Amino acid sequence: MITFILLAVILTVLLRRNPLTLVENVSFKWPYLLLGSFAAQLLIFFITTQTNRTYPYLTEIAIGAAVVFLWLNRRIPGVAFIFIGALWNLTALVIHGGLMPVSESALQIAGLSGLPELEPRHQLMSTSSFGWMGDWIPFIRRVFSIGDLWIGAGIIWFLAGNSLKREKNEG
């Protein structure tokens, strides 16, 4: 997602908008639901990397909370796209027991040697009929899913669409 956030910031600045105006320009419903979801996902990720165990139900609940937040805020420009992508990724996780399927050939094209370079919450998609819902689109040292692309487009739209134009200096 950092790739999309950086692209969104660059595009927003090129459009002569100030991304810092989001704080005053956008008002979310239930913002603590999203913050709690992110905190839970970080905690689950930390525990997963330390114990080498996955916690699929907890991961799905945490991402489900983010999906609920996005649904509640879907009328904000860009958020509906983020919602579609998050729902897509959540569905892929639920179908695959809490693990995101990833294409081995896409990993190689992206310059990754395999699953150890990714989060431990991935599995190779060759074991699933619904692997196409997972990460199979290679990019520089990254592999994306269709859901990730929706989220990325939504992030770009959200940042560029909700930032105010920069004012010209007088004088």
Render pLDDT for 103-161 as a digit per residue (tens, 0 to 9).
Answer: 888 988 998 876 655 566 778 777 778 889 999 999 988 999 999 999 999 999 999 99
Query: pLDDT (tens digit, 9 = 90+) per residue, 2-52?
Result: 899 999 999 999 999 999 999 899 999 999 999 999 999 999 989 988 988
Do 20 and 159 meet the contact criterion of CB atoms below 8 Å apart? Answer: no
Q: How far apart are alpha carbons 27 and 1 in whole angstroms? A: 22
Query: pLDDT (tens digit, 9 = 90+) per residue, 74-90?
Result: 999 999 999 999 999 99
Do 87 and 158 meet the contact criterion of CB atoms below 8 Å apart? Answer: no
- Beta strand pairing call for 17-18 and 164-165: antiparallel
**What is residue 79's predicted lDDT score, i.e. its pLDDT?**
98
**What is residue 57's predicted lDDT score, i.e. its pLDDT?**
94
This prediction has a pTM of 0.90
**What is residue 90's predicted lDDT score, i.e. its pLDDT?**
97
Write out the E strands in the chain: 17-18, 100-102, 122-124, 137-139, 142-144, 164-165
